[in-house]
Amino acid sequence: MNNKIGRFGAGRAMHLASCIALAVGLSACGEAEKPNTSTASSTSQTVLQDSAASNSIDVWPALKPALPRNEQVESHIADLLARMTLEEKVGQMMQAEIKFITPEEVKQYHIGSILNGGGTFPNNDKFATPDDWRQLADDYFAASMDTSDGGVAIPIIWGSDAVHGHNNVIGATLFPHNIGLGAARDPELIRRIGEATAREVAVTGVDWTFAPTIAVVRDDRWGRTFESYSEDPEIVAAYAREMIKGIQGDKSSEEFLDGHHLVSAAKHFVGDGGTTRGIDRGDTEVSEKELAEIHAAGYITALESGVQSVMASFNSWNGKRLHGHKYLLTDVLKERLGFDGFVVGDWNGHRFVDGCTVDSCAQAVNAGLDIFMITAEWKALLKNTIAQAQSGEIPMNRIDDAVSRILRVKIRAGLFERDRPLAGKNGILGSDEHRAIAREAVRKSLVLLKNNDQLLPVDAGKNILVAGDGADNISKQSGGWTISWQGTGNTAEDFPGATSIYTGIKQAVDAAGGEAVLSVDGEIKEDTFSNNAKPDVAIVIYGEEPYAEWHGDIASIEYQLGSKADQELLQKLKAQNIPVVSVFLSGRPLWVNKELNLSDAFVAAWLPGSEGAGVADVLLTDADGNKRHDFTGQLSFTWPGQVHQTVINRNDVEYQPLFAYGYGLDYTSDTQVANNLNEDGESYVDGKLEDAWLMVSRPRAPWKLYIEEEGSDLQWVNGNLASSADDNIVVASIDMLSQEDARALTWKGLRAGSVVLHTQKPQDLSRYLAEASALTMEVRVDEMPTASVSAQINCDGSDCSGALPLQNTLSKLPVGEWAEVSIDLQCFAEAGADFTKVSQGLSLHSKGKLTMAVANIKFVPGAREQAQVRCGS
């Protein structure tokens, strides 16, 4: 296994087919022509060739289908197939989103499946009741069975992301996200959670959950790290087996898919957790052996448990997209691993396959995709896929195979009978019984990282200050995939029946005769406590804000890179000699040395979900001062001690974590953690300063993008499209190699203005200057500038900004093609930039018209020599 720190460090190749290494002479600082300056290393090319040369099927176990062939089911399939038209067959292969399709259209086009994406609700109503959900499910079902216009009745199947409980539905039990469950190390608990989740989903008439995610996450910068049980295949494999049993029921019992148990989807096949630099939907550059043994470990056990669907992943394996990967989808998954259910695509994921568009992708079907997950463009995709079957571009036997698989699952799941024993039993949703399981999971997921002088458990009879913006914040403790897709925009009213961490503490303290007071900002007044005394202890609850998918990708694992609000809060309490317990809410391990140094005790609480009382169950004693529950959680992810340790995993050759995989204290431990952990946040790999990424796919924290124009207000670029007030400057997300991984910048020339990567807290980047770095970026000029353009590195004050003319450099680039541009940082310094307090990491300023695109903006140590734009120094 080759996965030690720094494996994908500086100089990692981007295989940008159209990225040409340019010898643009230049320059802004008047230097002579430089030789060809590709910074690409050959590493990824090597991997590519290796894997292309020979696939080695024998690294995968040969599995038999999990369920024995059932002749009755197979003849039912054959009978249906024989009666279906091509249009009906292809209709089965479409999964449309409920925002984009009506029941009437399901009937008309014989659509086989629907989904609700994150943040989509029946009637567009966030507060849709369980009855509203069920009614809509009934309407779609009735439409699918309505043969009044001819055709064969095939029940529709509705899928939903019930990834930590039935999380799209108000009032559902929200279990801890997978990362917390991983720490619980309790496969039996996982099975009960799967079972409870399936029951809550069944109440609403939904048939299928897009869960579990069985990614094995290797780089904690990935925005979906929290959806993963562990960085190690051991836990993921054990949990996948049980989660599938929980959701679908035991395959060899009567409970299998009995309506209390539903269809499950193992996702995302395969390698989603292994992408280089943790980029969502990126490229997993590993050997086939590593793919099979690490990333696919959960699929083996999920298949053994009889999982009925597998979701293809957005990512590529060594440059080739999974949605179009015949070898992995067909040769490996369906043949070698004996999978007889269906493969569903991910959200328009087929469109990234070479040669495909969102509405046309024969390649995916031919590779083995059985159902397209398709949003707005489902009609066009349906039409094109039918045409491709007619022309023979997609062989008929492939269509028949796909439809057989879909029908097989629908028959097994009893959808033809539509016998739904739980539909409408609304009391099951968020029931006490299910909440008790979630609360148990919260208790078991907590990992005690530090407990100096055995500060914990806290005596519940004392004065307890509860601080931090995560204390009374169910939205924050629940993370992404909670009611909305990103988990943002929710308030306390959106969580009926849920308990915040503070409320749980207060209940326990009240019961024990102590006093708990909430003070989010940590302010303490004389009369904060009724006995006018100081707090005996402060419990401070803080951490990451919710995010999902690529919105959560980060460049640095330093916690609160841009702001230091929580450190200041901890400091304020420490300064008053109040013992501090940190309860850290996060979707991944982060570099928190500073926060650890400021805490006497530190608990990793992950994203516990709706049952915040589980935290108090462990942290606080009973009235007699006795512990109630001990800590049992153990890290399922290695905790980093250095800010560059983004890819640090159990069994690494060089393994120097702060807290190793498996670590977790309990009340019998007397381990003291030093209070002077290294606070140098600079990022080194093998002793070398790491690249500083300002933008990769999206601006990386602490950097944010805005548009600045003379005479008008700043416009922040938050979504994928933004423009200045007068529409003169437009910034739009576009695709370079993957979805929205680049920005198109347009200046219409009405007036001068800039597009800026800004940080609120000025950054000291002088190390980069000292280490002979260059600013590098991918650039595509679509329309040459009509007036002067500059690249600038600026600070907030005067006399500390440096601007370099860029027009000349741009004018030498080939129009419409991506190319790398690199500029010696020294040039900015010579032009006046003060690198000790940079607030604009890059500002692109144009006086006239210009249309260009940029991507991958970074400072690369040691790249000065090869920079195209050089200056004397």
What are the residue numbers of the active site? Answer: 346, 549
CB-wise, 344 or 850, nearer to ligand BGC?
A: 344
Cα 841 versus chain centre, distance: 26
532 burial (CB, 10 Å; 0-12 / 13-18 / 19+) is: exposed
- Choices 111-119, 441-449, 588-596, 696-704; region in contact with ligand BGC by CB under 6 A: 111-119
On the question of a cis peptide bond just before residue 702, with omega within 30 degrees of 0, the verdict is: yes
CB-wise, 161 or 824, nearer to ligand BGC?
A: 161
DSSP collapsed to 3 states, 241-268: HHHHHHHHCCCCCCCCCCCCCCEEEEEE
Please tell me the distance from the alpha carbon of residue 129 to that of residue 686, in angstroms, as a whole number. Answer: 55
**DSSP character string of 113-157:** EEEE-TT--GGG-TT--HHHHHHHHHHHHHHHH--TTSS-----E
CB-wise, 344 or 800, nearer to ligand BGC?
A: 344
> Does 485 engage in binding with ligand BGC (CB under 6 A)?
yes
Structure tokens at 173: 């039990």
For the segment 393-432, give every residue that binds ligand BGC (CB under 6 A): none
- Choices 112-120, 188-196, 387-395, 618-626; region in contact with ligand BGC by CB under 6 A: 112-120
**CA distance from start to end of the chain:** 44
How far CA 258 is from CA of 195, 198, 251, 696, 792, in Å, comes to: 12, 11, 10, 46, 64
Say which residues have a Cβ less than 8 Å from residue 428's Cβ, sequence separation at least 6: 199, 200, 202, 203, 422, 434
Which value, in Å, is the radius of gyration of the alpha carbons in the chain? 28
Contact 860, 812 (CB under 8 A): no
Question: Rounded to the nearest 5°, which phi and psi values hold at 833?
Answer: -70, 135
- Least Å distance, CB 843 to ligand BGC, is 30
For the segment 689-718, give every residue that binds ligand BGC (CB under 6 A): none
Estimate the crossing angle of helix 187-203 against helix 432-445, to 10 degrees. Answer: 150
- Least Å distance, CB 810 to ligand BGC, is 33
- Choices 117-125, 426-434, 522-530, 855-863; region in contact with ligand BGC by CB under 6 A: 117-125
Please tell me the distance from the alpha carbon of residue 137 to that of residue 143, in angstroms, as a whole number. Answer: 10
> Does 267 engage in binding with ligand BGC (CB under 6 A)?
yes
- Choices 2-10, 114-122, 494-502, 853-861; region in contact with ligand BGC by CB under 6 A: 114-122
- Choices 74-82, 116-124, 708-716, 773-781; region in contact with ligand BGC by CB under 6 A: 116-124
- Least Å distance, CB 314 to ligand BGC, is 6
> Does 347 engage in binding with ligand BGC (CB under 6 A)?
yes
- Least Å distance, CB 740 to ligand BGC, is 10
> Does 117 engage in binding with ligand BGC (CB under 6 A)?
yes
Question: Rounded to the nearest 5°, which phi and psi values hold at 631?
Answer: -75, 135
- Choices 110-118, 490-498, 595-603, 720-728; region in contact with ligand BGC by CB under 6 A: 110-118
Task: Give the angle subtended at the CA of 52 by the CAs of 49 and 54, to the nearest 5°.
Answer: 110
Structure tokens at 402: 């796909």
Please tell me the distance from the alpha carbon of residue 371 to that of residue 403, in angstroms, as a whole number. Answer: 9
Sign of CA dihedral 88, 89, 91, 95: positive
- Least Å distance, CB 331 to ligand BGC, is 24
Q: Of the candidates 118, 470, 487, 522, which one interacts with ligand BGC according to CB under 6 A?
A: 118
Please tell me the distance from the alpha carbon of residue 491 to that of residue 171, in angstroms, as a whole number. Answer: 13
Please tell me the distance from the alpha carbon of residue 559 to that of residue 661, in angstroms, as a whole number. Answer: 20
For the segment 236-255, give every residue that binds ligand BGC (CB under 6 A): none
Q: Of the candidates 5, 157, 161, 284, which one interacts with ligand BGC according to CB under 6 A?
A: 161
Please tell me the distance from the alpha carbon of residue 689 to that of residue 781, in angstroms, as a whole number. Answer: 31
Please tell me the distance from the alpha carbon of residue 544 to that of residue 556, in angstroms, as a whole number. Answer: 13
- Least Å distance, CB 350 to ligand BGC, is 13
The amino acid that residue 86 corresponds to is: L
The DSSP output letter for 427 is: G
> Does 859 engage in binding with ligand BGC (CB under 6 A)?
no
- Least Å distance, CB 115 to ligand BGC, is 6
Binding-residue pattern over the window 56 to 85 for ligand BGC, x denoting contact by CB under 6 A: ------------------------------
CB-wise, 486 or 763, nearer to ligand BGC?
A: 486
Closest C-alpha among 266, 143, 138, 126 to residue 208: 266
Helix (H, G, I), strand (E, B) or coil at 723: strand
Contact 744, 722 (CB under 8 A): no
- Least Å distance, CB 747 to ligand BGC, is 28
- Least Å distance, CB 329 to ligand BGC, is 17
**Element containing residue 775 per DSSP (H, E):** strand 774-783
Q: Of the candidates 186, 288, 346, 824, which one interacts with ligand BGC according to CB under 6 A?
A: 346
- Choices 115-123, 326-334, 561-569, 823-831; region in contact with ligand BGC by CB under 6 A: 115-123
Counting residues that bind ligand BGC (by CB under 6 A) gives: 12
Question: Rounded to the nearest 5°, which phi and psi values hold at 721?
Answer: -150, 130
The DSSP output letter for 784 is: -
- Choices 42-50, 113-121, 551-559, 769-777; region in contact with ligand BGC by CB under 6 A: 113-121
Contact 801, 842 (CB under 8 A): no
Q: Of the candidates 8, 140, 210, 339, which one interacts with ligand BGC according to CB under 6 A?
A: 210
Q: What is the dihedral of CA 359, 365, 366, 369, to 10 degrees?
A: 140
Task: Give the angle subtended at the CA of 801 by the CAs of 798 and 803, to the nearest 5°.
Answer: 140
> Does 529 engage in binding with ligand BGC (CB under 6 A)?
no
CB-wise, 549 or 600, nearer to ligand BGC?
A: 549
Structure tokens at 367: 């590779």
- Least Å distance, CB 179 to ligand BGC, is 15
- Least Å distance, CB 707 to ligand BGC, is 23
Q: Of the candidates 112, 119, 212, 579, which one interacts with ligand BGC according to CB under 6 A?
A: 119
Q: What is the largest CA-CA distance in the chain?
A: 83
- Least Å distance, CB 163 to ligand BGC, is 8
* Nearest residue relative to ligand BGC (C-beta): 117
CB-wise, 486 or 851, nearer to ligand BGC?
A: 486
How far CA 446 is from CA of 487, 582, 605, in Å, comes to: 21, 12, 5
- Least Å distance, CB 159 to ligand BGC, is 8
> Does 133 engage in binding with ligand BGC (CB under 6 A)?
no
**DSSP character string of 338-361:** ---SEEEPPTTGGGGSTT-BTTB-
Please tell me the distance from the alpha carbon of residue 820 to that of residue 23, in angstroms, as a whole number. Answer: 10
CB-wise, 116 or 556, nearer to ligand BGC?
A: 116
**Which residues are near ligand BGC by CB under 6 A?**
115, 117-120, 161, 210, 267, 346-347, 485, 549
